Amino acid sequence: MAGEVQKESRTRSILKALSWRVIATSTIIGIAYFTTGDIHLALEMGAIEFFIKLIIYYLHERLWQTIPRGSIRKVLNKK
């Protein structure tokens, strides 16, 4: 509807976080394996990184949902 502020649902934020973590974690596992040559170490690093950054990304997404859309643009245009 016109003028209605839409926000992403928590489910959408979780799905976005999960899909991004799969891509990013695959990348870090590849880099870790390339640099160490140890697949077990690379997988361990990826597992730790996956869960920590999943939580951080979700919190970041939810924080952004508290900021009204367009409010940053309005502040930047006032300068």
Q: What is residue 4's predicted lDDT score, i.e. its pLDDT?
A: 64
Please choose, from the candidates 55, 57, 25, the residue with its C-alpha nearest in 3D space to the C-alpha of residue 43.
25
Name the DSSP letter for residue 56: H
Instruction: Convert the pLDDT of each residue in 12-70 to its tens digit.
Output: 888 888 898 899 999 999 999 999 999 999 999 999 999 998 899 889 988 988 888 77
**pTM exceeding the 0.85 threshold for the entire prediction:** no
Beta carbons of 7 and 61 less than 8 angstroms apart: no
Please choose, from the candidates 47, 64, 49, the residue with its C-alpha nearest in 3D space to the C-alpha of residue 13.
64
Q: Could you count the other beta carbons within 10 Å of the beta carbon of residue 17?
A: 20
